[in-house]
Structures are given as C-alpha cells and as structure tokens.
Structure 1
Amino acid sequence: MGTVYTQLSMQERRRIEGWWHAKVPVAEMARVLKRHKSTIFREIKRNYWADDAFPKKYAGYFGMAAHQITQRRRYTQRKLIRHPELCQRV
C-alpha cells in the first residue's frame, strides 16, 4: 500500500503564511513542518491570491484564504455531488 497523506491543517497554513511574508526558504518551512518541499511549493502556487483590481503589493499567500479555497475545491470535486444519479443509486 502507498504512503498515507494528510491534508495541510489550518495551523500549518497560518505558519506558512507567516514564513512566506518573512521570506523564509521553502526548504526550511518543509523541514520544520516535516513535509516535502514540493508540498509547500504546490500549496503556495495553488492558493496564491492576486486580484487585478488591487495593487500587486496586496497579492500574496494568506493562510485563511488558502484554507477556504482548498475546502471549496475539495467540496466541488466530490463524486457523489458531481453525479446525482450515482448518489441515488448509493
């Protein structure tokens, strides 16, 4: 069987946010959180917030927003929600 993977928690996302703004290297974040550095890079890339209506100085990675984006993404990808006919058969 494969390795067990756990999602990043809200506390981990908040720590990443603080380190990101403090310009801590991703390798160091990964070492402290005991995660692979690609996990941290992927998290920042997927949940980086930017809006054209605001100046670029307001763009960045924000832990609370990242958690909400992830929850919304996971919610919309559930198979039973995407396929109501499958839900009726279950």
Structure 2
Amino acid sequence: MTESYRHLRYDEREALAKMRDAAIPVSEIAARLGRHRSTVYRELRRNFMHDEEAWFRGYFPNVAHNGAPPRRAPGVTRSQDGISHGYRPRPSASLVAGTNCWKDARDRLATAH
C-alpha cells in the first residue's frame, strides 16, 4: 500500500468551500473529495480567516491556494521516494550562546571539593 502525498488542488478547495457553506459535515466532505477527514480539518484550520467583519470571515479557496506554497520550508524538496533533501540542521542553543555545556559541567565537577 504505497500512497503518495498530494496537495489539495484549487478545484478541490473550491468544492470544499461550497460544501462547507452548505453545512455538510466534514466527514462527508472528506469522503466526496476522496481525502482523509484530518486533511479537511487541517485545511480548514490552517486557512480559516478570522476577522471581526463577517464579510471577511471564513474559508476562501483562492487565499488558501495562494498561501500553500510558502508554507514549505526553504531549501527542502521532496523526491518521489518521500525523502527530504536539503535539510540543514540548526545549531544548538549552547553553540549560539558561545558556551559548551559539557565543558562547563566538567569544570564545575573538577573544582568541587
């Protein structure tokens, strides 16, 4: 069972918005789109616009579709086998602070009487 990850297409986002406006349950929306219900919940949570003005509040497929590409981490690409390439580990907090926590611990132990 090898399923590949697919981003939501624009037409799927439009259908999601229409079904959401029609008060169709998320589990049924997911079944109609052929997606897992957690994918639909995640899409709605990530792209729901919260605004005091009712006109600007809700899920807008064009905003959601335009906002999807910038979410991917810069420099990270995914190949067909699902392995991330271009990962660069971040420096540790002690390295950034200019201290070596292991050296400091050894010095404290060496000077303890």
Match of 1:78 among 74, 87, 94: 74
Amino acid at match of 2:3: T
Are 2:37 and 1:37 aligned? yes
* Deviation at residue 72 of structure 1 after TM alignment: 2.4
Corresponding position of 2:60: 62
Secondary structure of 2:3's counterpart equals coil
- State the identity %: 35
**Structure number having the greater helix percentage:** 1
* Deviation at residue 58 of structure 1 after TM alignment: 2.9
Structure 2-normalised TM-score? 0.60
Q: Provide Cα deviations, 1:6-62, integer angstroms capped at 9, x if missing partner.
A: 0100000010011111111111111111110000000000111123xx424531001
Corresponding position of 2:48: 48
* Deviation at residue 2 of structure 1 after TM alignment: 5.3
Q: Which structure has the higher relative contact order (CA within 8 Å, separation 6+)?
A: 1
Q: Which runs of 5+ in 2 are unaligned?
A: 77-87, 89-113
Structure 1 runs (4+) deviating above 3 angstroms are: none
Q: Tell me how many residue pairs correspond in the alignment.
A: 77
Give the RMSD, CA atoms, in angstroms. Answer: 2.0
Find the structure with the greater CA-based Rg.
2
Structure 1-normalised TM-score? 0.74
Q: Which runs of 5+ in 1 are unaligned?
A: 81-85
| CA–CA separation in structure 2 for the residues paired with 1:62 and 1:26 | 16
